[in-house]
């Protein structure tokens, strides 16, 4: 597959669209157009790529090989519904949306789900980011696999139900852990201590997971059953009933996990 002969339209101009477009263009894929309903966003990404853009679906280039929809879950069905039918491959990038959302409108379609969080101002290196592919026919599957494989060495097939579980696991491992960091930061701030003092501990906690499973890596008062420390911690949280409740819930879950499985 000669990447430079593959014409791609980006449907969306947000963080993921930007990062995917840059990565594909770097592999010499031919990005031919950017669509976004927001004119400023469309121009920003199109200028970065040096390609034309449009805010109207009626102006969309209809002979591209691949249309990548990187949109919010709310916008996705609306845009799909207003899209012209083309012979190209249409993929979305959403964790919790089924592939068959394209079924009534397109012939060749699928999903291209990079399992990563993207910020606009920090370029993502997709090199080891798992990309999960789904397709409605074999030719589409092959095309998507090769395209994903040009930017990542970790490409897998996953059906829509698997992908929902992936997304859900990401919410626990990324979104919810980040919330716990906000609580830790607030607790430190109460004593005028900077969040930075937690960085080595956080890095070590994540670093251990390279060699240990999370259940083997568990440390702390709950797994030791150290109730005197836990009572003292609950006392410190007396002014924060929601955090105290969370402390208790998580500690009990950890104790239960290690009494039943070890």
Q: In 3D, which of 145, 171, 140 has the Cα closest to residue 156?
A: 145
| Per-residue exposure over 55-94, b if at least 16 CB sit within 10 Å of its own CB, e if not | beeeebbeebbbbbbbbeeeebeebbeebeebebbbbbbb
149 touching a second copy, by CB under 8 A? no
Distance separating alpha carbons of residues 242 and 183, to the nearest angstrom: 11
78 touching a second copy, by CB under 8 A? no
Span 86-125, contacts to a second copy by CB under 8 A: 96, 115-117, 119, 122, 124
73 touching a second copy, by CB under 8 A? yes
To the nearest whole angstrom, how small is the minimum distance from the Cβ of residue 51 to a second copy? Answer: 27
To the nearest whole angstrom, how small is the minimum distance from the Cβ of residue 57 to a second copy? Answer: 23
229 touching a second copy, by CB under 8 A? yes
To the nearest whole angstrom, how small is the minimum distance from the Cβ of residue 130 to a second copy? Answer: 4
211 touching a second copy, by CB under 8 A? yes
Q: Which of 13, 32, 66, 222 binds a second copy (CB under 8 A)?
A: 222
200 touching a second copy, by CB under 8 A? yes
170 touching a second copy, by CB under 8 A? yes
- Identify which range of 46-54, 56-64, 133-141, 192-200 contacts a second copy by CB under 8 A: 192-200
Contact between 48 and 20 under an 8 Å Cβ cutoff? The reply is no
To the nearest whole angstrom, how small is the minimum distance from the Cβ of residue 226 to a second copy? Answer: 6
DSSP state letters, 163-232: HHHHHHHHIIIIIIHHHHHHHHHHHHHHTT--GGGGHHHHHHHHHGGGTS-HHHH--SHHHHT-HHHHHH
Report H helices in 50-176. 75-82, 138-151, 160-170
40 touching a second copy, by CB under 8 A? no
232 touching a second copy, by CB under 8 A? yes
Measured at the alpha carbon of residue 154, what is the angle toward residues 150 and 157, in degrees to the nearest 5?
A: 95
Q: Which of 50, 58, 104, 197 binds a second copy (CB under 8 A)?
A: 197
């Amino acid at each position: 597959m000669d990447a430079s002969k593959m014409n791609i339209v980006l449907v969306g101009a947000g963080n993921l669209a930007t990062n995917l477009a840059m990565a594909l263009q770097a592999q010499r894929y031919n990005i031919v157009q950017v669509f976004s309903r927001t004119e400023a966003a469309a121009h920003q990404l199109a200028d970065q790529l040096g390609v034309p853009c449009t805010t109207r679906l009626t102006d969309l280039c209809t002979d591209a090989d691949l249309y990548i929809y990187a949109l919010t879950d709310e916008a996705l069905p609306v845009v799909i519904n207003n899209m012209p039918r083309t012979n190209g491959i249409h993929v979305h990038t959403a964790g919790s949306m089924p592939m068959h959302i394209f079924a009534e409108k397109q012939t060749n379609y699928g999903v291209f789900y990079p399992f990563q969080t993207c910020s606009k101002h920090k370029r993502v290196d997709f090199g080891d980011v798992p990309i999960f592919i789904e397709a409605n026919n074999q030719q589409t599957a092959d095309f998507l696999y090769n395209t994903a494989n040009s930017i990542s060495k970790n490409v897998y097939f996953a059906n829509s139900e698997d992908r929902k579980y992936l997304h859900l696991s990401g919410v626990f491992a990324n979104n919810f852990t980040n919330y716990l960091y906000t609580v830790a930061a607030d607790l430190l701030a109460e004593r005028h201590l900077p969040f930075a003092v937690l960085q080595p501990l956080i890095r070590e906690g994540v670093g251990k997971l390279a060699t240990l499973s999370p259940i083997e890596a568990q440390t702390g008062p709950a797994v030791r059953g150290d109730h005197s420390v836990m009572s003292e911690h609950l006392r410190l949280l007396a002014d924060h009933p929601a955090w105290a409740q969370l402390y208790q819930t998580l500690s009990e879950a950890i104790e239960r996990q290690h009494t039943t499985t070890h």
